Structures are given as C-alpha cells and as structure tokens.
Amino acid sequence: MANTDIPPYKPGLLDRLFVKFFGVVNKLIPWHKLPGPIGALNLVALRVSLRENNLHSGYSSQTVQGNIVDDPLEDERFRHARNSDGKFNSLDKPLMGCSGMRFGRQFPRHHCRKPTEEELWTPNPRMISEKFMARKPQGFIPATTLNLLAAAWIQFQTHDWFNHEKSNQEFDIPLPPGDKWPHDHMKLPKTKPDDVLDPSDIETPGYKNENTAWWDGSQIYGSMEGVTHLLRTRDQDGKLALTKDGKLGSIIHGDTGIPATGFINNWWLGLELLHTLFVLEHNTICDMLRKAHPDWSGDKLFDTARLVNCALMAKIHTVEWTPAVLAHPALQIGMNANWWGLAGETLTKLLGRISKTSETISGIPGSGVDYFGAPYSLTEEFVSVYRMHSLIPDNVAFFNAASGEHHSTVPIEDMIFSDARKPFKAGLSLADSFYSFGINYAGAITNNNYPDFLRRLHTPDEQVRDLGTVDILRDRERGVPRYNQFRRLLGMTAPKTFEELTGGNKKLAQELREAYNDDIETVDTLVGSHSEPLPKGFGFSDTAFRIFIVMASNRLKSDRFFAQDWNAETYSKEGLHWVQHTTMKDILVRHCPELGRVLEKSKNVFAPWEKIPKSTKYGGVETNAM
C-alpha cells in the first residue's frame, strides 16, 4: 500500500548491518538464549526489521488522516494539550490516531482478508475453547512471578487503547455435538465494518477504534471532549470529580450502578481500584501544579495534570509492568532503554538528554516523532496478542493491610459489573484491596487457564457468552492470520509438525492434531501462542512478543507529547520532574500510606509482595493466595 505523505521507513546503514548480522546469528541461536547485553542488541535489530516490514495502514490512502485546511487547529489550547478525541496529536494529520479511525495492520492487508464462512467456523471455535481454554480439574495455574495487580493493570491499559465498534447483526455461534452449554445458542454482535472507501475494503474490511489510539489515559478521561467535560469538577481546580470520601461515583453511569469514567466496559473490582488510584493521582498533580503556578486557569491545570498522569502510566507500563511479565535480562535492558536510553536512569535524571535525537542513547521521550512509514494506529494484531484472560483467577483472598488478617475469599464473579464495589461494602478499604491484589497470584498465560466464570459470562446485555470462544472468533472475523502464517509474516520460522510447535510435548501435540484435523496451518494464533515453549522468564510467547516489541516503542515514538514536545513548556518543569521521579510504588503509598511498610522492600509492585506475618499463615488452593 503506497504511502504518499509519510515516506517509507529506510533503516540506516548501521541498522541494516545489525539486521543482517543477527539474522545469521539467529539461525543458530535464538535471541533469548544470547547473553543479556547481546540479546538486547539483537532486539534492536529485530525491531528495525519489524518497523520496516510490519507496520501498515488500515486505509488505502493517507487522505483520511486529515489536513490543516479541512481540520484546522482553531483552539490553540490543543497545541500544548491532549484533545480527548485524539485530534491534533499530529498537527499536519490531525485525525491520525483519533477516536473513530481504523485499526491498522501488522501485515499487508491482502494477507488479512475477510474469512469465508468455512474458514470462520472451522474448526468450531466453541470446541477449541472447550479443549484449550477451559480450566481442567486441577484448576487454576498460577503465574508465581506475577500478582493480581499485574492482571488488573493490563486490562486498565487496554481499555485506554482499543474498543471495536459493534454491529446490529449477530453471530449465532454453532455449538458442537454434545456441548454442555446451558442454552440452545450463543449469540455475539459482529464487529461493525467501516464504510467501503476503496475496492480493497470489500476483501479486507477496515474496523474503527472507538477509543483513541494514543497513550492518553482515555480510560479515565474519555475519548470525547464532551465526556471529559462531564467528568471534571465544576471548580476551576483542574480536577476530576470524586465523592466526598475520595471515591469514584460522583456520577453513576446510567442505571448500571457503575461510576462514570472514561471507559466502563467489563467493569470489575480491579478496574475500580486502578481508576480510583489514577483519578486521585491526577488530582494530587493538580494540587502540586496549583502550588507552583497559582495564576494558572482550571483548564491549564487540568491539561498539564493529564499530560503528566498519562506519561506516568506509559512509563510504569514500559519500565515496571513489562519487565515483570517478561523477566528476561535482554528485556530488562531493552525496556529501560526505551524510556531512559543506554545512558540510563541515573544519568538522564541528573543531566537530562545527552543526545538530542538518539532514542538508543537517551530514550524515546524527547527524541523526535517518527511514524516508520505508516500513519500511526494500533493494529488488529496488537489487539489479538493482548487477549490475556487467563491472567484472571477464580477467586481473590482479601486481607487487612494493617494486620494481615484474612478477611474473606470472594469469587471474582461476585465482583463484576454493578457488583464491583461489594468488597468495600463489606468493610474493606482501598489499601486492603491493593494489599490483597499484591499478594494474590495472577494466572499463567497458557492453555487451559481461562477462569470458569469468563467462559459463562453473564453480560449486561442479558446474554451468556464464553470469552474463550469469543477470542477465537474475533481473530478469525477480523482477518488475523492463523498461527503459522502469522509467524511467517513476522519473519519467524513456522513449525512443520505439531510436536515442533509444542516443543516436544507429545500429549499437547496430539490434542492439537485432533482438534485441527491434522492441519497445522489452521491452528489459531492464540492457541498456537499458548502452546509454544516460552523463552526463559517470559509470561507470554515469543510470537506475541514480536508484535509487542514493535508497538511498545511505536506508541511512544509516534506521539508528539512523548517524542517531540517532551519539555518544560508543555509539561512544566515540575510536571517533568514528577514523571521522571515517580514509580508505581510511590503512587500506591501516596494514596494508601498503610502500604508503605509492605512495599518497603519491593523492587517491582507487579511481582508478589512481601506478606505481613498473619497473611502468611493463611493459605489454600481455593484462595489463589500464596
């Protein structure tokens, strides 16, 4: 697909040499088996190759990205502030990344065509869910290096990034013979395709993102300016509205019983906690800015606090959450370098950017915008690899954050949608809840680890759905290639046998062979990714990681508020300092001081926390507590 406005990405000579050198090395040794520093350089080469080959627009033309004539910047406020609709992040292409724009693709669109009816239903997605998603009699498989806060965090982030438009038409999902589903059907709204703007859209439909594609905290601020206005206080303090006792819920969304916020789909206690925490953080940033700049207007306070809060989320995800999930030496180096550069955190805090433009030396923030040959958007494949429902356990064991005493063990099923606040009504505090999430395990991202309640989820539209089936069907519907083709298009090898796919696990290989009728080319990407052996320290597959490695940096490098306008004029001197010197631990302790002694020795809050002695005495498989 030709890009007429953004020039094709052309790696420099050193980058090309890196790609060729490590291409030869990786035929003998995979990147994750190299020593940490060399592996990190290998990742740089992989990212160059992925940027060159695996960023594609969802449109046939760039004209849809807007221009300064048809979409002028009429309010100068948004030259130095985020627009909730996502507009004007690019001043030249003001619609890029805004709500209502299409998802992009990681692969050329002709590889992502709409499936035939046979391809859509073969093999039966519900059967695949039953065989490879359902928890077996032994139950929950814990990820012993991650806590439940890590699971809540990624849903909190994905709610910022993407939400497909739904159609009025429905799938009537066929049930396999002998299925024990409690109803005679399972219905699911189809994804609504965008209008046909080009003949290629008939074979490969485009799908719109209702959220902004930018890393802009839209889950708490909203993806429309009108929504943001409703969520703010009526005072000129720049703050978001909370109840008198500092909780969400000064406004309730319709008749759902869920507090009004930027994005409330699939609401549960984990989202309630993190939404509350970052609304509190926004308001605290406003207080700090008001003290430093008493003459600022309410809008100026709000805009700057939002920039700081969004940058905090991006930084936490980059240098804290990701290294917890991908605990590999090369990733520790690589993710810190994304933010701080090879110069490192200490030197960057002390001296600022050493290199004006090099993201390698001084990190992406402040290095300048680059789209790498394609208009910025999140991609369908990015959505696909963030299907991580197996992170969720069946129950949560709650403890008192001060004494460590066990309070109760509650099924997560009893804390979803309008019931998300049940633990608070039972006497638990915000600190108690965070402490409990910190010492409960998340689930392993692997086969047969979807929580039972998500495979019979009663949704607010009065349907019952199996999210395992939904995950498989959504990828097929939206043209995400199957596992082997997905790997080929990423420049990876494709296994020729089921035994090769599973790393020699003969039992799993036979189960896959039977389910996919001995045709390895039809294995779904999600199932294949859950079945392949993981690199040491990895919480998810190397296949999914390839999408992550290119998009993790692209989300920062394409955003002018990170890559270009990372300065005191935009953020304020105080705001920049707040971002660079604040960690997730700082935020938790700021708003829940009771957690200070628990987190004193914690190096990463997304790893299991140290227990208070009385919590240690309590155990049991049924609680999922350590």
Query: Which H or E element spans position 168?
Result: strand 166-172
Question: Which residues does 567 contact at the CB level (< 8 Å), separation at least 6?
Answer: 366, 576
| Strand stretches in 433-513, DSSP E | 441-443, 457-458, 464-465
Polymer length in residues for the chain: 626
The per-residue b/e assignment along 51-63, b for 16 or more CB within 10 angstroms, e otherwise, is bbbbbbbbbbebe
Q: Distance (Å, rounded) from C-alpha 427 to C-alpha 274?
A: 19
- Matching residue, tokens 């290199």: 355
- Exposure of 44 by Cβ count < 10 A (0-12 exposed, 13-18 middle, 19+ buried)? middle
- 613 φ, ψ (degrees, to nearest 5): -45, -45
Q: Is 386 a catalytic residue?
A: yes
Which of 442, 444, 448 lies closest to 468 in space, CA to CA?
A: 448
Q: Distance (Å, rounded) from C-alpha 277 to C-alpha 573?
A: 24
Please give the DSSP secondary-structure letter assigned to residue 565: -
Q: Name the catalytic one among 386, 441, 483, 516.
A: 386
Q: Does 205 sit behind a cis peptide bond, omega within 30 degrees of 0 on the bond before it?
A: no
With beta carbons less than 8 A apart as the criterion, state whether 62 and 198 touch.
Answer: no
- Exposure of 271 by Cβ count < 10 A (0-12 exposed, 13-18 middle, 19+ buried)? buried
Question: Which residues does 441 contact at the CB level (< 8 Å), separation at least 6?
Answer: 142, 143, 144, 146, 147, 148, 393, 608, 624, 625, 626
Give the bridge partners for 200, in sequence order: none
Q: Is 516 a catalytic residue?
A: no
Tell me the binding residues for heme b.
389
Count of CB atoms within 10 A of residue 565's CB?
A: 17
With beta carbons less than 8 A apart as the criterion, state whether 476 and 120 touch.
Answer: yes
Reported as half-sphere exposure (CB side, CA atoms, 13 A), residue 434 has a value of 26
Helices (H), 293-358: 298-316, 322-325, 329-340, 345-351
Give CA torsion, residues 315, 321, 324, 325, to 10 deg.
-130
Assign 258 to helix, strand or coil.
strand
CA distances from 325 to 37, 93, 275, 536, 538 (A): 19, 35, 21, 11, 6
Query: Which H or E element spans position 190?
Result: strand 187-191
Q: Distance (Å, rounded) from C-alpha 475 to C-alpha 479?
A: 6
The per-residue b/e assignment along 227-263, b for 16 or more CB within 10 angstroms, e otherwise, is bbeebbbeeebbbbbbeeeebbbeeeeeeeebbbbbb
Q: Name the catalytic one among 32, 56, 59, 159.
A: 159
Question: Which residues does 562 contact at the CB level (< 8 Å), separation at least 6?
Answer: 215, 311, 314, 364, 365, 556
With beta carbons less than 8 A apart as the criterion, state whether 440 and 626 touch.
Answer: yes
With beta carbons less than 8 A apart as the criterion, state whether 282 and 220 touch.
Answer: yes
Assign 549 to helix, strand or coil.
helix
Residues serving a catalytic function are: 159, 386
